[in-house]
Structure 1
Amino acid sequence: MQRTLTALRGNSQRLDGGAMFGNAPRALWSRWVDVDELNRIPLACNALLVEEESGQGVRRILLETGIGAFFEPKLAQRYGVVETQHCLLEALSERGLSDADIDIVVLSHLHFDHAGGLLAAWKEGEPPRLLFPNATYLTGFDQWLRAKSPHLRDRASYIPALIELLEASARLQLIEGEYSSLLGNDYRFIRSDGHTPGMLLAEIETDAGPLVYGADLVPATPWVNLPITMGYDRAAELLIDEKTELLSRLQARNGWLFFSHDPQCMVARIVADDRGRFAVTDRLNQPGSLSLAEA
């Protein structure tokens, strides 16, 4: 089987830097990112397209859909969504594809900045509409339970209409454990509970080592620093422990991390210095085909 990996850019946001960096002071995190007059930092929504060619044809798997453009204008402004069009659909179109060509959509969790792209762009007077009509939607069982009955602390992170549409689609599969029967053993899921219960990080074996979709465990390169967490994380100490385990394993295996929210770096290899501090190298900064073996 021949497998092609492509990094796609979805819609972008600007969110409060203090919220994104938790208890880290602005004097520290402002060295790593630009900040505007409203104290907001730029964030991307990066998706990973996996195309598998075999004797049975091509199977297309999409990891994440980003925030999309489903918010009505007032909420889009509140949450700092930059573009009004659905950028992920445009990125697929540039490759000669549409949402109807996707066979499987994998969602690490169901917060709106990762799953909102499942919905069509907002139009006045029209109800929410589910995209990817031929795809099976995969997410974790425990994350699904959280989305259906969220805590007051993260209730605003979920889209009730999306949850209803997914449930009614009859194309939702919930993952329990490390593997999905639909995807097969080439895809392993790493559970993380520090950001939200039952978040699943997809790991794919490549010729250049394992590649993990970092989701919101390590959303961008600044969060490779172990003590750095987000104010949105439900359990910061647990998240740091989970991040330490993931980065240690990737560093030991010469592995790669795909960043869901980094506007400047899509993928990088994880390394550690002589003091055990993690960093990135072999950065792939632009959307497009990922040639990890050549990096």
Structure 2
Amino acid sequence: MDILPLPNIRFTWLDGGVTNLDGGAMFGVVPKPLWEKRYPCNEKNQIECPTDPILMQMDGKNILVESGIGKGKLTEKQKRNFGVTKESRLEESLQENGLTTKDIDYVLMTHLHFDHACGLTKYNGENYISVFPNAKIIVSAIEWNEMRNPNIRSKSTYWKENWEGIADQVETFTNEWSWRGIKLIHTGGHSDGHSILVVEDGEETVVHMADIMPTHAHQNVLWVMAYDDYPMNSIAAKQKWMQYGVEKKAWFTFYHDAYYRAVKWDLEGTLTAALERK
């Protein structure tokens, strides 16, 4: 497993599954000859996009960022359309860290699209139940409202199977949620309720931009996805938080990147440090 140790917090990437999504959709209006140099595609024009949750451990608490694509929840057609080559091994990954799903105290959700939220519930033969029964699940109020009342566009990614079993565990926030140096901050952009994660630990800073910067190849603030509901909001948020992170010499972490778990850039945009995905 890939690990990023901070002075008081340990980041561990778990195995949440692998999708392969259309490169054109992932890079929006950016011409293929440009993005392909940064992030290669396969013969179907798909780029590899893992869905690997991050386990943060501090002060005896186990905090999960995102939940993976789950296991046994996607139809064969969905697997084909989303290029799923591997379903989640989240429970096995936790066991390898000496934990079970009952040991998770918080699940921090940047948003609730299926590739982030499928791992929140599982089928028990009768209905969908919570995978993390003892956790508080934190998400923005806007995102939670749209999850339960999707519009004509978003209903394809907000599924009742992913929220009905966890409704009594959800805690929402408006602008910001924080706990001991960990913050979820509402940005909008990718979805109306999208949030990013900012972690301050002593002299170290981590910025998790989630799906407004899904991979290192989306470093350019103008490179946003065609999936984004509000692309100009994505661009504005990227401008603000990338500048913040670079000035703080922060680690930028990723959920979808097939090559890097975390990187640092200098003021000129040059890569200065990287944790590669094994």
- Matched AA of 2:149: S
Give the deviation of 1:139 after TM superposition.
0.7
Q: Could you say what secondary structure the match of 2:12 adopts?
A: strand
Aligned to 1:174: 172
Aligned to 1:283: 274
Give the deviation of 1:177 after TM superposition.
2.6
Give the deviation of 1:154 after TM superposition.
2.0
- Matched AA of 1:118: L
State which of 38, 63, 81 in structure 1 corresponds to 2:84. Answer: 81
Residue 104 of structure 2 corresponds to residue 96 of structure 1: no
Asked whether the equivalents of residues 215 and 256 of structure 2 are also in contact (C-alpha less than 8 Å), the reply is yes
Q: Across the two proteins, how many residue pairs are aligned to each other?
A: 271
Distance in 2, Cα, partners of 1:42 & 1:145: 30
Residue 64 of structure 2 corresponds to residue 62 of structure 1: yes
Residue 134 of structure 2 corresponds to residue 134 of structure 1: yes
Asked whether the equivalents of residues 221 and 280 of structure 1 are also in contact (C-alpha less than 8 Å), the reply is no
- Matched AA of 1:36: N
Give the deviation of 1:231 after TM superposition.
0.5
Residue 14 of structure 2 corresponds to residue 8 of structure 1: yes
Distance in 1, Cα, partners of 2:39 & 2:192: 28
Residue 185 of structure 2 corresponds to residue 190 of structure 1: yes
Give the deviation of 1:258 after TM superposition.
0.8
Asked whether the equivalents of residues 143 and 198 of structure 1 are also in contact (C-alpha less than 8 Å), the reply is yes
State which of 115, 120, 134 in structure 2 corresponds to 1:113. Answer: 115
Distance in 1, Cα, partners of 2:62 & 2:134: 11
% of aligned pairs identical?
30
Distance in 1, Cα, partners of 2:217 & 2:251: 15
Aligned to 1:291: none
Distance in 2, Cα, partners of 1:248 & 1:89: 36
Unaligned stretches of 5+ in structure 2? 1-6
- Matched AA of 2:148: K
State which of 218, 225, 230 in structure 2 corresponds to 1:235. Answer: 230
| 227-236 or 202-211, larger mean C-alpha shift | 202-211
Give the deviation of 1:152 after TM superposition.
1.6
Distance in 1, Cα, partners of 2:131 & 2:185: 26
Q: Could you say what secondary structure the match of 1:266 adopts?
A: strand
Asked whether the equivalents of residues 225 and 279 of structure 1 are also in contact (C-alpha less than 8 Å), the reply is no
Distance in 1, Cα, partners of 2:65 & 2:198: 11
Distance in 1, Cα, partners of 2:181 & 2:113: 26
Give the deviation of 1:281 after TM superposition.
2.7
Asked whether the equivalents of residues 177 and 185 of structure 2 are also in contact (C-alpha less than 8 Å), the reply is no
Distance in 2, Cα, partners of 1:73 & 1:129: 22
Unaligned stretches of 5+ in structure 1? 288-295
What do the CA deviations read for 1:225-245 (whole angstroms, capped 9, x no partner)?
A: 121110100122221111011
Aligned to 2:4: none
Residue 49 of structure 2 corresponds to residue 51 of structure 1: no
Change (3 A) 1:149 1:279: farther
Aligned to 2:3: none
- Matched AA of 1:38: K
State which of 232, 239, 244 in structure 2 corresponds to 1:244. Answer: 239
- Matched AA of 1:31: K
Distance in 2, Cα, partners of 1:105 & 1:29: 32
Change (3 A) 1:159 1:17: same
Give the deviation of 1:159 after TM superposition.
1.4
Q: Could you say what secondary structure the match of 1:129 adopts?
A: strand
Residue 30 of structure 2 corresponds to residue 24 of structure 1: yes
Give the deviation of 1:41 after TM superposition.
0.8
Change (3 A) 1:95 1:11: same
Asked whether the equivalents of residues 121 and 161 of structure 2 are also in contact (C-alpha less than 8 Å), the reply is no
Distance in 1, Cα, partners of 2:203 & 2:117: 29
Q: What is the 5 A alignment of 1:128-167?
A: 128-167=128-167
Distance in 2, Cα, partners of 1:46 & 1:214: 14
Give the deviation of 1:270 after TM superposition.
2.9
Distance in 1, Cα, partners of 2:158 & 2:89: 20
State which of 210, 217, 225 in structure 1 corresponds to 2:205. Answer: 210
